[in-house]
Amino acid sequence: MAGATHLTGAGNGQILVRRAPVSLHSLNHMTDTQRAVALVTGASRGVGRGIAVALADAGMRVFASGRTIDGTALPAEIVRVACDHTDDEAVTRLFTRVDAECGRLDVLVNCAWGGYERMVEDGRFTWATPFWDQPRWRWDAMITTGVRSAFEASQLAARTMVAARRGLIVNISHWAAQKRIGNTIYGIAKAATDKLTRDTAIELRPHGVTVVSLYPGLVRTEAVLAAGVFDLSNSESPEFSGRAVAALADDPELLTLTGSTLVAAALAQRYGFTDTDGRSPRPLTLDDV
């Protein structure tokens, strides 16, 4: 895109971008072989599903993976691939298929996550209990299904991206990486995700590959809407984070952001996109959460 890019620090490890608005449909004019290829893990519902939809709307060829992806309502052009991201062989088959069908991978969004499951067990809300009372399965749901799957997917994506000397890996993370928010294991998982971002970014930067952590705000996922207890006045659609990823992928100076933690709503202000309803959510800060 034309127009200068200006980088400003915002504290808390964020780098914010000020540049002219970009078109989320700029990739639509590419031929099929030129189209950017994206893989979104954990796309069966919630933020992952929204990101897959938004990237397809931006003109990318999108693969969406998840355990229950076959039953997910997605646009017909999105390729659904059933995959349990704790199954190494299934994950390898997923990346082999993307390579066989496309010969390239431009964007990986690591959104696979099992940490919000079974918050209530036997009538007891266990999410916020002290760490010594936490059910041990929750460690695997957050660390194995979350952090380990992001590491493995990043490994496989990096091999393709390094060879091509281009690519973007986005790890969906949260402010819990920087502040205790309700659950100790949650904080460990998100801190590990941000550390994964920073260290892999150092290794991949010489090869032209960018890695960032992306913090959504309060997202109107199926679970949030069903709960009926949240103030949605400053909430975001699941597609909003996908628009942030598309804008990042369209930035010619993307590599300057590698290793950063970025807030989706802050990127909207600086890249010039809005949510699906035309609104611009207010970016949250560490003090807000």
User: Distance of alpha carbon 103 from its chain centroid, rounded?
Assistant: 22
User: Distance of alpha carbon 189 from its chain centroid, rounded?
Assistant: 14
Comparing CA positions, the residue from 218, 209, 223 lying closest to residue 241 is 218
Half-sphere exposure of 6 (CA within 13 A, CB side): 6
Residues serving a catalytic function are 186
> CB of 184 within 8 A of CB of 133?
no
SS3 at position 261: strand
The token pair at 136 is: 């041990």
Q: How is 47-91 classified by DSSP, letter by letter?
A: HHHHHHHHHHHTT-EEEEEETTGGGS---TTSEEEE--TT-HHHH
Please state, in angstroms and rounded to a whole number, the distance separating the CA atoms of residues 40 and 63.
6
Q: How is 100-130 classified by DSSP, letter by letter?
A: HHHS---EEEE----TTTTSEETTEE-TTS-
What is the greatest pairwise CA distance in the chain?
A: 57
Distance set, CA 36 to CA 32, 105, 167, 200, 284 (Å): 9, 7, 10, 22, 30
